[in-house]
Amino acid sequence: MALILGLESSCDETAAALVTSDRQVLAHRLAGQEAAHRPFGGVVPEIAARAHVEVLAPLIEAALADAGVTLAEVDAIAATAGPGLIGGVMVGLVTGKALAHAAGKPLIAVNHLEGHALSPRLSDPDLDFPYLLLLVSGGHCQLLLVEGVNRYRRLATTIDDAAGEAFDKSAKVLGLGFPGGPAVEAAARLGRPMVPLPRPLKGSPEPHFSFAGLKSAVVRAHAAGTWSVEDIAASFQQAVVDCLLDRTVRALGRAHGATALVVAGGVAANGAVRTALADLAAANGLRFVAPPLWLCTDNAAMIGWAGAERFAAGLTDPLDVAARPRWPLDPGAEAVRGAGVKA
């Protein structure tokens, strides 16, 4: 049994966790920065990086104390090395390197997306490779065939905004505040999905995503003054769900050998998204796996778990490993027009 210290700092959550290779999360400490970013309506990279500097070390100390272990008992240190806001990534990765060096432990540089991609295997011991993964977060919207640790085939990506980004931008337009996803979901519960909004790329042969046009349509619907914020929120959420479903159906035809449909990333916390995907999986004779909500949004347990999976596969990294603002999970994936323009 291996014990891994996981560190996460790639966006606006600072977190440290102690995770074992037999799927126990012995400790998880997380500090969000929502209050610091709220006045700006979005994450300010410089503010995020400074906050990581202040809270990461105390969080690690607290997590070790919670788990009742010392650094000497840890087998490896796993830190997010990208992709993400580079200032924050550097704080976590340098901290991981310093601890690894001081304690004489191996370092594991984890791709944040791999953390999300493998997180369902932490919560579900029966989830075997390969599986079709819909990875929907604030920065990414991808369909991946997860073939094994370090083996990811990207079947689709977004040509403009990520799904979570669309939630966040629409929330801002509708005056629902930050972070947008949960606020839109709460408003949608009170509304009726009757505002006509587009379903970008629905029906197109490649399973890629697009959400920029949907956000613009939300701006226009709001400006028209005809609909309530709740009705627009409900209609927007329905449009996102329709797009995710249509694109996932398209990718299913290419996910050879997959026995499960898996959703991960912050948008996987959305109840309407989860329900729709669960129904789709059932209709296709696939298992449906979605991690618990706390494991969907950014956290360090998923980084510790990805570290445990990599450690078991003998994948550790040298102390000069780079921090990467951009880091595709599938280096062989073809460039898609319009895709990857955002951090």
CA distance 299 to 100: 20
237 or 316: CB nearest ligand KG4: 237
CA distance 304 to 293: 17
In this chain, which of 266, 304, 307, 328 binds ligand KG4, going by CB under 6 A?
A: 266
Least distance from ligand KG4 to the Cβ atom of residue 136, Å: 7
Least distance from ligand KG4 to the Cβ atom of residue 87, Å: 15
List Cα–Cα distances, 139 to 113, 124, 340, in angstroms.
10, 25, 10
Q: Which two tokens stand for residue 15?
A: 């977190």
Least distance from Zn ion to the Cβ atom of residue 298, Å: 4
Least distance from Zn ion to the Cβ atom of residue 303, Å: 10
In this chain, which of 18, 267, 323, 333 binds ligand KG4, going by CB under 6 A?
A: 267
Hey, what amino acid is at 128?
D
- Nearest one of 276, 252, 301 to 5, comparing CA atoms: 301
191 binds ligand KG4 (CB under 6 A): no
Interacting partner of 269 out of Zn ion, ligand KG4, none (Cβ under 5 to 8 A depending on kind)? ligand KG4
The alpha carbon dihedral of 306, 309, 312, 314 has a sign of negative
13 binds Zn ion (CB under 5 A): no
Residues 89-108 touching ligand KG4, rule: CB under 6 A, are none
48: enclosing H helix or E strand: helix 45-67
Q: Which residue has the tokens 């972070």?
A: 179
CA distance 109 to 79: 5
6 binds ligand KG4 (CB under 6 A): no
Interacting partner of 181 out of Zn ion, ligand KG4, none (Cβ under 5 to 8 A depending on kind)? ligand KG4
In this chain, which of 95, 123, 137, 158 binds Zn ion, going by CB under 5 A?
A: 137
164 binds ligand KG4 (CB under 6 A): yes
**Beta strand spans in the chain (E):** 3-8, 13-20, 25-32, 76-82, 107-111, 131-136, 141-148, 151-156, 260-264, 287-289
CA distance 87 to 115: 19
Binding range to ligand KG4, per CB under 6 A, among 137-145, 202-210, 241-249, 307-315: 137-145
In this chain, which of 4, 260, 269, 308 binds ligand KG4, going by CB under 6 A?
A: 269
Sites of contact with ligand KG4 (CB under 6 A)? 11, 137-139, 164-165, 167-168, 179-182, 185, 265-267, 269-270, 297-298
- Binding residues for Zn ion, rule: CB under 5 A, are 137, 298
